[in-house]
Chains A and B, each alone.
Chain A
Amino acid sequence: MRINCPHCGTRPVEEFTFNGDASVQRPASNDPKTMDQWFDYVYLRDNPKGRFDEYVHHSSGCRAWLVVTRDTQTHEVFGVVTARDHAKKRVKA
């Protein structure tokens, strides 16, 4: 499996560290009434078959945080963006 780092170019998967689901969003409120949302955010994860957005750290390269969209079944990579761009896009949306 190869990942195309926006900073370094295509590198083998050994250079990267995976760090879970990139689709979860931190609840905006600290109100105790939102505890359910917090429970979801901290503990609950889907285990999808197919397309999946995932945080990836280029730990043995440029050390940038990335979001890789890949197929969990075939490992086909659809796209890679920096975590910064991913977050900006989400704020806009």
Chain B
Amino acid sequence: MSDQFTRISPLADIAFQGRFGADHAAPGVTLSVQHPAAIVAVIARKGKAKALAEALQNWRGVRAQWAGAEQYFVLDKPFDEVRKKLDGLASCSDQSHGRAIIRIEGPKVRHVLCKGTPVDLHESEFEIDRSALTQMAHVGVHLTRIGRDAFELSVFRGFSESFWEWLTEQSEEFGYQVI
């Protein structure tokens, strides 16, 4: 038996590339599935919240997204490396297989997202690199602003298909492309 497994995106059979929805000159939003992604959920050990926040801040080349009180999602690094680095500070669990990340960007991105979440996503309220946990179409969503008009939406793998359907439906009126 092989030790190597290929990780298949939960949206492999549904997120097809192309141009969809209303035919305006330029698409309102662009969707892309971030796959494969390395996602590690990190929760501070007792009394280590501050030390963990500092360790993550000083760790170059890693993206740490706030994911609740004293909790983060650490992206782009393999699980073993994260666990070694944060040894004694945090409990780590590999979520790379458990969550799907969808990137959405474009001039109409806020119009699409505000149909789903009560979080105020105006730049003055929600700056770049900030994350929030919320709900869209009854699905728990972890969203992070990665640019002025760009967000990453992270959902549980099992909900990703229905969430994708909702998201593309909401994007139709603006015209969207999948890349």
Residues of A within 8 A of B (CB): 7-9, 11-12, 14-15, 60-64, 82
The reply to whether B68 and A15 contact each other, CB–CB distance below 8 Å, is no
Q: Which residues of B contact A15 (CB under 8 A)?
A: 118, 134-135
Task: Report Cα–Cα, A50/B140, bound state, in Å.
Answer: 33
- Please report the C-alpha to C-alpha distance between residue A14 and residue B119 in the assembled complex, in whole angstroms: 13
Answer whether residue B132 sits at the interface, using C-beta atoms and an 8 A cutoff: yes
Query: Contacts A8-B132, A15-B134; is A60 near B69 (CB within 8 Å)?
Result: no
Extra 17 A-B pairs, beta carbons < 8 Å, given A62-B133, A63-B68: A7-B68, A7-B69, A8-B132, A8-B133, A8-B134, A9-B119, A11-B118, A15-B118, A15-B134, A15-B135, A60-B133, A60-B140, A61-B133, A61-B135, A62-B68, A64-B68, A82-B69
Residues from chain A with Cβ under 8 Å of B118 in the complex? 11-12, 15
The 8 A CB mask of B124-150 against A (1 = contact, 0 = none) is 000000001111000010000000000
Summed over the interface, the residue pairs from A and B with CB atoms below 8 Å come to a total of 29
Q: How large is the interface on B (under 10, 10 to 19, 20 to 34, 35 or more residues)?
A: under 10
B122 CB → nearest A CB, Å: 13
How distant is the Cα of A9 from the Cα of B119 in the complex, in angstroms? 9
Complex alpha-carbon distance, A49 and B69, angstroms: 32
Contact A60 B135 (CB under 8 A): yes
**Shortest distance from the beta carbon of B147 to any chain A beta carbon, whole Å:** 22
A47 to B73, CA, bound (A): 41
Beta-carbon nearest neighbor of A2 in chain B? B118
Kindly name the residue among B118, B132, B133, B134 whose own CB sees the greatest number of chain A CB atoms within 10 A. Answer: B133
